[in-house]
Structure 1
Amino acid sequence: MGIIANNDNEIRIYYSSETSIGKQAYAYVVSSEKKVLGIDVSKTKVPGSHWAEMAEALNVGIEKLINREHPDFVKHYGNKNIDLDQHDWLRILENHPETLAFPIVLMGKKVIKIKSPSDFVKYMEPNTRHIEDSNQ
């Protein structure tokens, strides 16, 4: 990671509080024992350079960060199979962050896409209560 500062003692989560997966993923991350910086993309403008850096770290194109079935995407852009360049996809995320397809977690040098709220559990430290509870 280059532009986005990373810290091994802090977890950053980019999520939308307007989606159920965003709210649930945020709750899982906050339950970890590390300091959490929650970036609610529905309330905080995220620069295109950050989106680009996260997409690169996830090894996906920027268009993969966007839920093309989201009602706001369909309302503004119509056909979910539109063909845009990377710059245009960045503009969509900047102008319509509610279309973020999934929460993104940054833990030190790890970048994780959260497709279901419990995806984060496997990345938590072994000494957290969620891991301990699952071993009992």
Structure 2
Amino acid sequence: MTSTGLAAARESNRQLAEIIPSVSDDQWELPSACAGWRVIDVLAHLGALAYETVCPPEPDPTWPKVRERYHDLRVNERRGWSHAEVITEWQDYAPKQLAVQEAGQEPAVASEPVVVPGLGTYPRHLMA
């Protein structure tokens, strides 16, 4: 099981929650290290991942097959959102995402295969 991964995810979320209030609107708009993404887009990406962990979408054959392009698609869907909306999505869904990941550590489901489009199939416990 990946209890270490789950602990790291919890710590990462804790640190991010601590940092978010200190980021100004101007800072959210700065370019990030991800080409074409602003700092707020990185948080939008994390919020989208958290949302999809909790509310998995039905697969759509029109989605990009390359995972990075899929992430671009989800971030682009949020580009019109205010900073507050992006932050709220992450704040609302990150704890729920952790709960789903924690539940995935249970022996009864830990070995179930999970298909991650564009990346492969993995045992559920590795999703943390």
TM-score, normalised by the number of residues in structure 1 = 0.28
TM-score, normalised by the number of residues in structure 2 = 0.29
Higher helix share: 2
